[in-house]
Amino acid sequence: MASILKEKSGTWRVQVRRKGRSISETFVRYDDAKRWGVDAERQIDRGETPTLSKVAKLQTFGDLIDLHISDMSEVGKAPGRSKQATLEMLKRRLGRKKMVEIDRECVIKFGRERSKEGAGPTTIGIDVGVIKLVVQHSAAVHGLPVLIEPIDLGRIALKRLGLVAHSNERDRRPTEEELAKLIHYFDSNPRQIIPMGRIIKFAVAGAMRQEEICRVVWSDHNGRTKMLAIRDRKDPRAKKGNDQSIPLLAVSGYDANALIEEQRAFRANDDDRIFPYNHKSVSNVFTRACRILGIQDLHFHDLRHEGASRLFEAGLQIHQVALVTGHKDWKMLRRYTHLRPESLHDFVARRAA
The per-residue pLDDT for 236 is: 54
DSSP β-ladder status, 221-222 and 227-230: antiparallel
Q: Across-strand partners of 22?
A: 17
pLDDT in tens, 240-281: 667 899 999 999 999 999 999 999 998 888 899 999 999 999
For the chain, what percent of residues have pLDDT higher than 70? Answer: 87
| Cβ(123)–Cβ(114) below 8 Å | yes
Burial zone of 264 (CB within 10 Å; 0-12 exposed, 13-18 middle, 19+ buried): exposed
Q: Among 86-90, 174-178, 223-227, 334-338, where is mean pLDDT lowest?
A: 334-338
Q: pLDDT tens for residues 18-31?
A: 777 777 777 677 88
Render pLDDT for 276-331 as a digit per residue (tens, 0 to 9).
999 999 999 999 999 999 999 999 999 999 999 999 888 888 889 989 988 877 76
Q: Write out the E strands in the chain.
A: 3-6, 12-18, 21-27, 221-222, 227-230, 244-247
Q: Is the pLDDT of residue 109 over 90?
A: yes
Is residue 337 classed as helix, strand or coil in its secondary structure?
coil
Which CATH number is associated with domain 176-352? 1.10.443.10
Residues 6+ apart with CB under 8 A from 61: 90, 91, 94, 95, 96, 97, 98, 99, 101, 102, 134
Residues in the chain: 353
Q: What per-residue confidence (pLDDT) applies to 59?
A: 81
Instruction: Please compute the mean of the pLDDT values over residues 175-200 and round it to a whole number.
Output: 96
The domain spans of the chain are 3-56, 61-160, 176-352
Separation of first and last alpha carbons in the chain: 86
CA distance 310 to 250: 11
